[in-house]
Amino acid sequence: MKIPQGCQPDTKLLLRGKGIQELNGSRKGEHFVHIKIKIPKKVTEQQEALLRKFEEEGNQPTKGFAKAASSAFEKLFRDKKKDKDKKE
């Protein structure tokens, strides 16, 4: 199965004719696939730097998954940034 680029969390994809076969029949039903995306709660400083670089290089308006990931990303690092600002 190929997952489309930009697929959102909790997306449902449909595979026609790939489901369970009908009782006393030869036709197969549809198979629904629920996409679950996990965003890490903790990342190393190197991973954070790479994610920030990835975000900068995107230079595209945030929508869909990018927007969801961005808000999760900000929640994840907001406290770290506040702590850094307080130390300086």
What is the reported pTM? Answer: 0.45
Q: Give, for all 88 residues of the chain, the pLDDT tens digit.
A: 888 887 888 889 898 888 888 888 889 999 999 988 887 788 888 988 888 888 788 765 555 555 556 656 666 666 555 555 555 5
pLDDT at 6: 79
Write down the pLDDT at residue 56.
Answer: 80
Backbone angles phi, psi at 33, to 5 degrees: -115, 125
Q: What is the number of residues in the chain?
A: 88
